[in-house]
């Protein structure tokens, strides 16, 4: 090989290591475009919040607050803005939705994660997620025309009480079991007492919630009236069906992230698959499961079309705490008023009341997300 065939290496210099001018310009353009996209989304969110707060402030400063509490109900065109009417209705619908979506979604997640083989999981999970693609207006019409007369209308108060008590007991067993495991973990790991106090406080909150729910079930049993049209129960069941895929998908992803070594260790100790799922996998994935439930609650409390169609009320309603009567949730109240003409909606502070309800709904969902983020960050297990 002669010297002529040997390629002389080109010496490296600072100038040769720098990016070419044309490539640098493209990088600058791309970075600027992405920055503008991010700023536009932030600006749109800020404008929405500003408009919401500005119009809601007009309602806050102009309304007689005696007309927002303890009135007959939500009659905005008559100047009666009883906030508890729509807040209690929203809580009832959300509670019924979680009673439906919680056990079914979590059970589906446990099956997909721990029991289903690869072939079954390949078609069952997409089929379950198809449910999330059903338009809410279709599900609302289904809740009004089938669930309300055939399911809610024919259910007896004893049946309702038994079903609610069974679901409530299941929630209590799971929640207390998880809390006990957390306390045992804190004691064995020698953590500070503040963590133990948080766990005990969580148990107290769980007991209080279940006690209040049980009292509400007893009140419903005593004042039962079969529903022949739309009702909060029909709307809650419809919203629950809508949120089942959300709970199942997020919970299953959280369980799938649990290392197989934990399952193998549990099986090596002689635990059956059900014991492994309930005592190992679910506590290890509790942060993701809690996140799934919080997202589902936010989705349920913000649902509009199902409760608007199947809630059993038009644009005004009397106060009720029975799920078998018709009422308006916060979102349904906004939709019913916004669908009117300008001359009707704009009378007095009726139009501004929409923004106040929207601001209240925004504050509730924001609070749920903040609490969920703090809770998930505290109990999250990293492997």
Instruction: Tell the burial category of 202 from Cβ atoms under 10 Å away from its Cβ (0-12, 13-18, 19+).
Output: middle
pLDDT tens digits, 224-254: 555 556 788 889 999 999 999 989 988 888 8
The whole-number average pLDDT for the span 158-183 is: 66
Verify that 19 and 147 share a domain, yes or no: no
What pLDDT was estimated at residue 152?
Answer: 79
What pLDDT was estimated at residue 43?
Answer: 93
What pLDDT was estimated at residue 178?
Answer: 63
pLDDT(335) > 80: yes
Please give the span between the terminal C-alpha atoms of the chain, in angstroms, as a whole number: 58
pLDDT(166) > 80: no
What pLDDT was estimated at residue 231?
Answer: 85
Verify that 38 and 151 share a domain, yes or no: no
Residue 263 lies in a domain: yes
pLDDT tens digits, 82-107: 888 999 999 999 988 988 898 889 88
Verify that 35 and 113 share a domain, yes or no: no
What pLDDT was estimated at residue 219?
Answer: 63
The whole-number average pLDDT for the span 131-135 is: 81
User: Which one has a higher pLDDT value, 170 or 330?
Assistant: 330
Q: Which of 257, 209, 229 is nearest to 143 (CA)?
A: 229
d(CA 6, CA 252): 61
d(CA 84, CA 97): 19
Name the CA dihedral angle for 314, 332, 213, 142, rounded to a multiple of 10 degrees: 80
The whole-number average pLDDT for the span 18-42 is: 83
Verify that 52 and 101 share a domain, yes or no: no
d(CA 234, CA 201): 34
Verify that 19 and 151 share a domain, yes or no: no
* CATH code where residue 316 lies: 1.10.3720.10
Q: Which of 373, 290, 374, 304 is nearest to 332 (CA)?
A: 304
Q: Which of 79, 62, 76 is nearest to 330 (CA)?
A: 76
In sequence order, what are the beta bridge partners of 80?
Answer: 75
Verify that 296 and 348 share a domain, yes or no: yes
Residue 232 lies in a domain: yes
What pLDDT was estimated at residue 195?
Answer: 55
**Band of the pLDDT at 343, cuts 50, 70, 90?**
very low
The whole-number average pLDDT for the span 48-70 is: 84
The whole-number average pLDDT for the span 298-309 is: 89
Residue 207 lies in a domain: no
pLDDT(256) > 60: yes
CB 320 within 8 A of CB 82: no
pLDDT(39) > 80: yes
Lowest mean pLDDT among 205-209, 279-283, 296-300, 360-364: 205-209
Q: Which of 235, 233, 373 is nearest to 295 (CA)?
A: 373
Question: Mean pLDDT score of the chain, rounded to an integer?
Answer: 78
Verify that 143 and 230 share a domain, yes or no: yes
Lowest mean pLDDT among 12-16, 51-55, 120-124, 292-296: 12-16
User: Which one has a higher pLDDT value, 12 or 124?
Assistant: 124
Q: Which of 46, 62, 78 is the last residue of a domain?
A: 62
Verify that 16 and 105 share a domain, yes or no: no
Residue 203 lies in a domain: no
**Band of the pLDDT at 44, cuts 50, 70, 90?**
very high
Per cent of the chain over pLDDT 70 is 72
Residue 356 lies in a domain: yes
SS3 for the chain, per residue?
CCHHHCCCCCCCCHHHHCCCHHHHHHHHHHHHHHHHHHHHHHHHHHHHHHHHHHHHHHHHHHCCHHHHCCCCEEEHHHCEECHHHHHHHHHHHHHHHHHHHHHHHHHHHHHHHHHCCHHHHHHHHHHHHHHHHCCHHHHHHHHHHHHHHHHHCCCCHHHHHHHHHHHHHHHHHHHHHHHHHHHHHHHHHCCCHHHHHHHHHHHHHHHHHHHHHHHHHHHHHHCCCCCCCCCHHHHHHHHHHHHHHHHHHHHHHHHHCCCHHHHHHHHHCCCCHHHHHHHHHHHHCHHHHHHHHHHHHHHHHCCCHHHHHHCCCCCCEECCCCCCCCCCCHHHHHHHHHCCCHHHHCCCCHHHHHHHHHHHHHHHHHHHHHHHHHHHHHHCCCC
The whole-number average pLDDT for the span 250-266 is: 85
**Residue-range definition of the domain harbouring residue 45:** 12-62
Verify that 341 and 255 share a domain, yes or no: yes
Q: How many domains does the chain have?
A: 2
Verify that 140 and 251 share a domain, yes or no: yes
- Length of the chain, in residues: 383
Verify that 269 and 365 share a domain, yes or no: yes
What pLDDT was estimated at residue 97?
Answer: 92
Residue 75 lies in a domain: yes
Verify that 72 and 99 share a domain, yes or no: yes
Residue 138 lies in a domain: yes
What pLDDT was estimated at residue 382?
Answer: 64
Residue 2 lies in a domain: no
Instruction: Tell the burial category of 246 from Cβ atoms under 10 Å away from its Cβ (0-12, 13-18, 19+).
Output: buried
């Amino acid at each position: 090989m002669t010297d002529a065939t040997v390629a002389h290496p080109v010496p490296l210099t600072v100038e040769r290591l720098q990016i070419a001018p044309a490539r640098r310009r493209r990088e600058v353009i791309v970075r600027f475009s992405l920055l503008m996209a991010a700023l536009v989304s932030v600006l749109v969110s800020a404008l929405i919040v500003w408009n919401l707060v500005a119009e809601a402030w007009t309602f806050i400063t102009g309304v007689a607050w005696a007309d927002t509490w303890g009135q007959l109900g939500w009659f905005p065109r008559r100047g009666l803005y009883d906030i508890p009417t729509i807040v209690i209705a929203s809580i009832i619908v959300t509670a019924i939705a979680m009673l439906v979506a919680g056990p079914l979604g979590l059970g589906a997640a446990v099956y997909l994660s721990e029991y289903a083989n690869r072939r079954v999981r390949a078609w069952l999970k997409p089929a379950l997620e198809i449910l999330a693609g059903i338009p809410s207006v279709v599900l609302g019409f289904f809740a009004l025309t089938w669930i309300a007369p055939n399911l809610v209308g024919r259910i007896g108060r004893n049946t309702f009480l038994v079903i609610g008590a069974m679901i409530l007991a299941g929630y209590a067993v799971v929640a207390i079991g998880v809390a006990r495991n957390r306390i045992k973990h804190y004691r064995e790991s020698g953590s500070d007492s503040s963590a133990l106090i948080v766990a005990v406080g969580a148990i107290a909150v769980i007991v209080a919630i279940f006690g209040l729910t049980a009292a509400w079930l007893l009140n419903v049993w005593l004042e039962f009236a079969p529903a022949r049209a739309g009702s909060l129960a029909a709307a809650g069941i419809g919203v629950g069906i809508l949120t089942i895929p959300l709970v199942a998908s997020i919970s299953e992803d959280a369980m799938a992230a649990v290392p197989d070594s934990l399952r193998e260790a549990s099986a090596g100790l002689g635990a059956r698959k059900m014991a492994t799922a309930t005592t190992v996998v679910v506590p290890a994935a509790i942060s993701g499961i809690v996140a799934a439930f919080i997202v589902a609650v936010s989705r349920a409390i913000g649902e509009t079309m199902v409760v608007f169609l199947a809630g059993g009320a038009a644009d005004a309603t009397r106060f009720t705490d029975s799920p078998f009567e018709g009422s308006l949730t916060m979102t349904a109240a906004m939709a019913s008023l916004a669908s009117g003409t300008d001359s009707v909606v704009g009378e007095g502070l009726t139009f501004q009341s929409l923004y106040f309800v929207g601001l209240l709904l925004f504050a509730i969902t924001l609070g749920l997300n903040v609490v969920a983020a703090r809770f998930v960050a505290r109990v999250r297990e990293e492997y």
